Amino acid sequence: MSEEKCRETLLKKKKYYENCSGCKVDKLKELKQGLPIREIISLWFVAVCNSLSVSSLFPFLYFMIRDFHIAKREEDIGYYAGFVGSSFMIGRALTSVLWGVVADHYGRKPIILSGTISVVVLSTLFGLSINFWMAVITRFLLGSMNGLLGTIMVSTAWGIGLIMGPAVGGFLAQPADKYPSIFSKESLFGKFPYFLPCFVISLIALGVTMASCWLPVHNL
């Protein structure tokens, strides 16, 4: 028997299990040829959405902590900003393995959808934070509820998001001060000066969530 026929026979002997997401992926690989362009583009946008939520707060985090009036001295602002900045990664570190297990059991698509939905809800709440502890808790929950890191990884999308995130946060934070002709002090964006960048990211995440609903279930 030729070497090619032996390989084909061995591959066909693989046993598939019902309700196994990994088996469904392997079956799809056998049937589908070529590069899955649609899936790659979809996951690329999911990764961008996720990295935007990670990095967008850093340009305005100092001013946000200052406006909370929790720091008694200006030198202490960085101390409190560290808690807000790191709470996302702490939440992610505590739950990433769990989300990976859930994704292996139920498939990647539900985890992708729950992750983007968490960005929509918790990024909006973070922008509406009225005190230090609300900011810490919403960022911690955003990291805890976001299981995308262990589920997908598109490096270029992650890097682009880390560049775009600070740009969005820097340009859109405190819009009533920067763009008084568009945003008044009495408007929602004047009362919550750090809501606009978070809201824009939430809108992007909402669009990505809606688009992800059309991802094929059998290979995610």
Q: How do residues 210-219 score in pLDDT, each as one tens digit?
A: 888 877 654 4
Amino acid 216: pLDDT: 65
Please, are residues 202 and 123 in contact by the beta-carbon 8 Å criterion? Answer: yes
Region 68-96: mean pLDDT is 90
Which has more confidence, 96 or 133?
133
Amino acid 28: pLDDT: 64
**What's 74's DSSP letter?**
G
Interior/surface letters 6-44, b for 16+ CB within 10 angstroms, e for the rest: eeeeeeeeeeeeeeebeebeeeeeeeeeeeeeeeeebbb
pLDDT at 3 over 70: no
Q: What tokens does 162 get?
A: 């880390």
pLDDT at 4 over 60: no
Amino acid 152: pLDDT: 67
Per CATH, the number for 40-215 is 1.20.1250.20
pLDDT at 5 over 60: no
pLDDT bracket for residue 120 (50, 70, 90) = very high
Please, are residues 166 and 55 in contact by the beta-carbon 8 Å criterion? Answer: yes
When the pLDDT of each residue in the chain is averaged and rounded to a whole number, the result is 82
Domain positions in the chain are 40-215
Q: What tokens does 125 get?
A: 């709440």
Region 106-129: mean pLDDT is 89
Return the C-alpha torsion angle 139, 145, 150, 154, nearest 10.
-60
Amino acid 197: pLDDT: 93
pLDDT at 13 over 50: no
Which has more confidence, 5 or 205?
205
Min mean pLDDT across 6-20, 21-35, 114-128, 142-156 is at 6-20
